[in-house]
């Protein structure tokens, strides 16, 4: 468990700065300039939240990017991810899919580990890691999330467990929030009234506030 890599499914992730964040910012709740809270649930070694942070930094205005907070969580059975994510040091091989300009803008050689590169501090400041078990069905913060990503994780659970986790995501999202999963994951039937598929070529779901 835990296979992941930088710049996985960028077609879906790029929709976040180009389409979802502009829509989220139209919401009344954001006129007070509150943070834009994103949860990468089941983040493994951090490739997913860091890929997203790089895309957001490269695509969004500086002021909007300064309001982005990404919470990255995992059950981390081998207790490895916290150190990796906090340090932000990755082997060059795992970074090969990053476009050259984005790689040059956001990484420097790790002087302590040959062949590794360190992700820049400006990116690291926007990603906070915490240990979390999704099956606890408890959100990690009280504030609402604007976007929750849970990619390549739900396939490990039973349909009932997935339904319960998606329900917890539903409760944790702001009214204008989005839930994102991997291309091959379908919503369980009992979750389908809670969300509407936002776009046909990606598993991006908009919270449905009129489900009853």
Ligand X SMILES: C[S@@+](CC[C@H](N)C(=O)[O-])C[C@H]1O[C@@H](n2cnc3c(N)ncnc32)[C@H](O)[C@@H]1O
Residues lying near ligand X in the complex (CB under 6 A): 1-4, 8, 42-44, 48, 74-77, 132-135, 151-153, 156
Nearer to ligand X, 6 or 176 (CB): 6
Nearer to ligand X, 2 or 144 (CB): 2
**Residue 11 parent element (H or E):** helix 10-15
Nearer to ligand X, 176 or 191 (CB): 191
Inter-CA distances, 177 with 45, 85, 180, 195, 198, Å? 25, 26, 10, 10, 11
The CB-of-203 to ligand X minimum distance in angstroms stands at 12
Radius of gyration, alpha carbons of the chain? 17
The CB-of-119 to ligand X minimum distance in angstroms stands at 16
The CB-of-154 to ligand X minimum distance in angstroms stands at 9
Instruction: Classify residue 14 by its DSSP letter.
Output: H
The CB-of-78 to ligand X minimum distance in angstroms stands at 9
* CA dist., res. 5 & res. 198, Å (int): 25
Nearer to ligand X, 158 or 211 (CB): 158
* CA dist., res. 39 & res. 29, Å (int): 18
- Show the tokens assigned to 7: 């710049």
**Residue 72 parent element (H or E):** strand 68-74
- Show the tokens assigned to 106: 């956001």
The CB-of-1 to ligand X minimum distance in angstroms stands at 5
Nearer to ligand X, 127 or 176 (CB): 127
3-state helix, strand, coil in the chain (%, to 5): 40, 25, 40
Nearer to ligand X, 13 or 118 (CB): 13
* CA dist., res. 6 & res. 90, Å (int): 10
The CB-of-206 to ligand X minimum distance in angstroms stands at 20
Ordered alpha helix ranges (H), 32-158? 47-59, 62-65, 81-87, 100-106, 121-124
Residue carrying the six token digits 């986790």: 165
């Amino acid at each position: 468990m835990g296979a992941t890599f930088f710049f996985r499914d960028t077609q879906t992730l790029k929709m976040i700065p180009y389409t979802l964040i502009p829509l989220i910012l139209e919401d009344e709740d954001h006129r007070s300039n509150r943070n834009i809270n994103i949860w990468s649930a089941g983040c493994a070694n951090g490739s997913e939240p860091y890929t997203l942070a790089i895309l957001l930094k490269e695509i969004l205005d500086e002021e909007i990017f300064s309001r982005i907070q990404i919470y990255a969580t995992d059950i981390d059975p081998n207790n490895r991810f916290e150190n990796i994510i906090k340090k932000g040091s990755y082997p060059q091989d795992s970074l090969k899919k990053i476009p050259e300009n984005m790689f040059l803008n956001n990484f420097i050689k790790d002087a302590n580990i040959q062949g590794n590169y360190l992700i820049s501090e400006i990116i690291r400041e926007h990603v906070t890691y915490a240990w979390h078990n999704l099956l606890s069905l408890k959100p990690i913060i009280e504030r609402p999330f604007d976007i929750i990503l849970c990619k390549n994780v739900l396939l490990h659970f039973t349909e009932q467990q997935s339904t319960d986790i998606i329900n917890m995501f539903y409760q944790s999202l702001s009214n204008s929030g989005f839930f994102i999963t991997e291309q091959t994951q379908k919503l369980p039937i009992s979750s389908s009234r809670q969300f509407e598929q936002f776009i046909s070529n990606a598993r991006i779901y908009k919270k449905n506030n009129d489900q009853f």
